[in-house]
Amino acid sequence: MSKAGANDWKTPLGYYERAIAELRKAHEEFQAELQALRKLQDSHANLKTELETTKEELQKTKAELETTKEEFQKTKVELQNTNLRFEKLEDIVSETQEIANSAHSEAKAARSEVKSLINEIKDGRIVAQRAIMLQGKDEQHWMKFRKLDSVNHHCFQIWKSDDTWHDDIRVKAAIFLRARDDYHWMGCQYVDQKNYDVFHVWRWNNTWQSTVRVRAARHLR
């Protein structure tokens, strides 16, 4: 079928071909509008989704704003309480400073008093009761001068805290008998074959001297 010319479109065939062309154009325009409508629908769906998301985010932001507001009110109250505590703390610091100054003055006076007592003790003006005694096995037992005997010997005994005296003192030199001076002591050196105790003089340099002599005695048991 040949295409109608510009002047013969008014023929039946021309009307037919023109109608087909217009129909085809209308179809293409309809398809374009349909495609645009689909895009518009997709855009509307996306916009609806974004709107729902924005709505949810708005609700979330609103809730966070309420929480922030509550926290702000709470912080404001805490700040007010902190200011009150700070004011009380300043009062406490002031009182503490006064107490510290007073304590410092008292400590200074106490040190001066202790220094004075130490000086008096050094000078002999003060003698503590236990300073004239030697402690025994515990704080309940003290060695102290008791009396002078008949030959003017100094007798020391154990004084107990119940104010009783006990003659049970033993010192290291009690295993010896004193000789001419503090460097010579008589003690048992050994036992001989006849079971006699042999006494010698022990000297301070840890040597033994067989120079013991007693009056009218040949054996000491």
**Cβ count within 10 A of residue 158:** 20
pLDDT at 14 over 70: yes
Confidence of residue 4 (pLDDT cuts 50, 70, 90): very low
Split at pLDDT 50, 70, 90, the class of 48 is: confident
Q: In the 3-class helix/strand/coil scheme, how is 139-202 assigned residue by residue?
A: CCEEEEEEEECCCCCEEEEEEECCCCEECCCCCHHHHCEECCCCCEEEEEEEECCCCCEEEEEE
Quick: pLDDT tens for 124-180: 566 555 556 677 778 888 888 888 877 787 888 888 888 898 877 766 556 677 778
Q: Write down the pLDDT at residue 34.
A: 84
The pLDDT of residue 67 is above 70? yes
- Token match 């087909």: residue? 20
Condensed to tens digits (0 to 9), the pLDDT of residues 74-107 reads 888 888 888 888 788 788 888 888 888 888 888 8
Can you tell me the mean pLDDT for 36-42? 83
**Is 40 a residue whose pLDDT tops 60?**
yes
pLDDT above 70 as % of the chain:
81
Collapse the DSSP code of 21 into the 3-class scheme (helix H, G, I; strand E, B; otherwise coil) and give the result.
Answer: helix
What is the reported pTM? 0.27
Name the residue ranges covered by the structural domains of the chain: 9-126, 129-209
172 vs 73, residue with greater confidence: 73
Task: Say how many CA atoms lie within 13 Å of 198 toward its Cβ.
Answer: 11
What b-and-e string marks burial along 80-119, b requiring 16 or more CB atoms within 10 Å of the CB? eeeeeeeeeeeeeeeeeeeeeeeeeeeeeeeeeeeeeeee
Percent of the chain with pLDDT over 90: 0
The pLDDT score that the predictor gives to residue 123 is: 64
Q: pLDDT higher for 171 or 22?
A: 22
Per-residue confidence (pLDDT) for residue 38, from 0 to 100: 82
Mean pLDDT, the chain, as a whole number?
Answer: 79
